Amino acid sequence: MHPETDPGTIRPDAGMSEAEAAAEARRIITDAYRPTAYRDDTPVPAHGDTPPVAQPGRPPMSQGATDASVLMLAGGTATAMVGGTAAVLMYVSQFADPVVCGLVFGAPTALVLALARLAKRARPAPDVHHHYEGPIYQDRRNVHSRTTGVWAKTNNQQ
């Protein structure tokens, strides 16, 4: 724009003193740098319809996935410690047999895996609770099915 037609331009012939010109310049600069958006910094409620926000650290995942990832991290750490111990032992002794070290350090791992499988099978059956309204008839018979042959033949026995 041309300085004479722009109303925001300070002209020396406008009859302003040096202090008035500086004040007007500050006002123009302040108006030019005024924010065009407003951010509401009021805290959001801790409960309600607010969607969850991912927090720093591990990404959000199901409880089963979290348990599996912790189990994998623990297994990896245990494997690294056992392998590191075996490597240090072979290096320090200078004559350790790698096969013997593998058997000695692999046996606890195999034992832990076997105990984990046994504990998994030894878990008690979950309690099942049913809630009904009105007259109910429950049939608790077990039917054993057996399918044999090239041409499928199914025998159901109670």
Report field, pTM of the whole predicted structure over 0.85:
no
Answer yes or no: is pLDDT of 150 > 80: no
pLDDT for the residue 140: 77
Q: 34 exposed, middle or buried (CB, 10 Å; 0-12, 13-18, 19+)?
A: exposed
3-state helix, strand, coil in the chain (%, to 5): 45, 5, 45
Q: How far apart are CA 37 and CA 40, in angstroms?
A: 10
- pLDDT confidence band for 23 (50 / 70 / 90): very high
User: What is the pLDDT, as a whole number, of residue 49?
Assistant: 75
Decide if pLDDT at 13 tops 60.
no
Domain residue spans of the chain: 1-36, 65-121
Contacts of 85 (CB under 8 A, 6+ apart): 105
- CA 54 to centroid of chain Cα atoms: 8
Instruction: Tell me what pLDDT residue 52 has.
Output: 74
Are the CB atoms for 139 and 133 separated by under 8 Å?
no
At 25, which amino acid appears? A
Q: Is the pLDDT of residue 107 over 90?
A: no
Asked whether the predicted pLDDT for residue 34 surpasses 80, the reply is no
